[in-house]
Amino acid sequence: MHKVYLSLGSNIGDPVSYLDKAVDILKNTQDIHKLKVSSYYQTDPVGYLDQDVFVNISVYLETDLSPYELLEVCQGIEETLKRVRVIRWGPRTIDVDIILFDDIKMTDDKLTIPHPRMHERAFVLVPMFELDDQLMIEDKSIEELMTSVDTSGVRKL
């Protein structure tokens, strides 16, 4: 059974509803088990700043799916919830990213694990810390990683 962390975010329409729908799809996906969902966090935008605040969560799950099969599930959720990619880091109904998948390290045109910018993003680290404050990521504790980012733009709802 593979151990996986996902990061989900939304800032269009009713973000909490989009996140709830995405979690429901994950819960009802064959070969995904033991879902654990963080609290909801309101987060300031990163990269492209001229947009509404986001709501972000982290999801821990266990799965029999391969990384590519899980990527298909994540992209299917984005398609189902009408994600449109217009502006990089711009507004979206839903974003579902694979952050960690066991201890796998891989990079290709379709998928990079661990997520390459997770170390810089408080909106990823804070919800993951809530799920497992003892989590180790590439020989660093999640607590240590959080000390290197500004968490002031991440507020629990």
Between CA 7 and CA 38 the distance in angstroms is 10
The reported pLDDT for the residue numbered 49 is 63
Instruction: Supply the mean pLDDT for the chain.
Output: 91
Q: Which of 20, 95, 102, 108 is catalytic?
A: 95
In eight-state DSSP terms, residue 130 is H
The reported pLDDT for the residue numbered 58 is 98
pTM, 2 dp: 0.92
- What structural domains and CATH numbers belong to the chain? 2-156 (3.30.70.560)
92 is catalytic: yes
Reported as a pLDDT band with limits 50, 70 and 90, residue 44 is confident
53-93 confidence digits (pLDDT tens): 889 999 999 999 999 999 999 999 998 887 556 555 557 78
97 is catalytic: yes
Q: Which of 20, 31, 44, 83 is catalytic?
A: 83
Q: Which residues pair with 54 in a beta bridge?
A: 43
50 is catalytic: no
Between CA 115 and CA 132 the distance in angstroms is 17
Structure tokens at 97: 């990213």
Between CA 131 and CA 5 the distance in angstroms is 9
Q: Which of 92, 102, 109, 117 is catalytic?
A: 92
Between CA 123 and CA 8 the distance in angstroms is 10
Q: Is the pLDDT of residue 19 over 80?
A: yes
Structure tokens at 40: 């909801």
108-140 confidence digits (pLDDT tens): 999 999 998 898 899 999 999 999 999 999 889
Between CA 81 and CA 89 the distance in angstroms is 17
* 101 φ, ψ (degrees, to nearest 5): -140, 100
Q: Which of 31, 44, 97, 132 is catalytic?
A: 97
- Among the listed ranges 14-18, 37-41, 89-93, 123-127, which one has the minimum average pLDDT value? 89-93
Structure tokens at 108: 């290709």
